Amino acid sequence: MAGRRVAFIVNPNAARGTVGKEWPSIQDLAKQRLGAFQSFLTAGPGHATTLTRSALEQGADVVVCVGGDGTLNEVVNGFMGEDGPLRAGAELGFIPRGTGCDFIKTVPLPTAPDRALDIIKDAHARHIDLGRIRYRDHQGKPSLRYFHNVTSFGLGGEVDDRVNRTTKAFGGFVSFIWATLFSILIYDKKQIHLKVDEVFNQTVACWNVAVANGQYHGGGMWVAPDARVDDGIFHVTVIGDFTLPEVFWNLPKLYNGKLLQLEKVRTLTGKRIEASSEQRVLLDVDGEQPGQLPVILDIVPKAIQLLIPRKGSSTSP
Q: Which of 95, 123, 151 is at the close of a domain?
A: 123
Reported as a single tens digit per residue, the pLDDT across 69-95 is 999 999 999 999 988 899 889 999 999
Regarding whether 98 and 163 lie in a shared domain, the answer is: no
Domain count, the chain: 2
pLDDT digits (tens, 9 = 90+) for 191-210: 999 999 999 999 999 989 99
For residues 20 and 109, state if they share a domain.
yes
**pLDDT tens digits, one per residue of 255-304:** 898 999 999 999 999 999 999 999 989 999 998 889 999 999 999 999 99
Domain that holds residue 18: 6-123
Taking residues 140-164, report their average pLDDT: 84
Give the pLDDT confidence of 204-227 residue by residue, as tens digits: 999 899 999 999 998 888 999 999
- Whole-number mean pLDDT of the chain? 90
In the chain, the amino acid numbered 46 is: G
Residues 6+ apart with CB under 8 A from 139: none
Q: Judge if 160 and 278 occupy the same domain.
A: yes
Instruction: Give the torsion sign (CA, 159, 142, 305, 214).
Output: positive
Last residue of a domain, one of 71, 96, 123: 123
Residue 67 sits in a domain whose CATH number is 3.40.50.10330
If asked whether residues 78 and 178 sit together in one domain, one would say no
Same domain, 29 and 139: no
Residue 307 lies in a domain: no
pLDDT at 223: 95
Whether 96 and 174 share a structural domain: no
Q: Exposure pattern of 60-88 as b/e (b: 16+ CB <10 Å)?
A: bbbbbbbbbbbbbbbbbbbbbeeeebeee
Q: Is residue 113 part of a domain?
A: yes
Answer for the pair 259, 251: CB distance below 8 angstroms, yes or no.
Answer: no
Does residue 173 have a pLDDT over 60? no
Q: Say yes or no: 113 and 143 in one domain.
A: no
Query: In sequence order, which residues have a C-beta less than 8 Å from that of residue 188 and are 6 or more positions away?
Result: none
Q: Residue 184: which pLDDT band, with cuts at 50, 70 and 90?
A: confident
In a domain, 306, yes or no: no
Same domain membership, residue 288 and residue 139 = yes
Domain assignment present for residue 185? The answer is: yes
Same domain? 17 vs 113: yes
User: Any idea what the CATH number is for the domain that residue 139 is in?
Assistant: 2.60.200.40
65 and 196 housed in the same domain: no
Q: Is the pLDDT of residue 37 over 90?
A: yes
**309 is a domain residue:** no
Q: How confident is the model at residue 254 (pLDDT cuts 50, 70, 90)?
A: confident
pLDDT of 168: 53
**Whether residue 149 is found in the same domain as residue 296:** yes
Within this chain, do residues 181 and 271 fall inside the same structural domain, yes or no?
yes
Domain boundary among the residues 72, 99, 123 is at 123
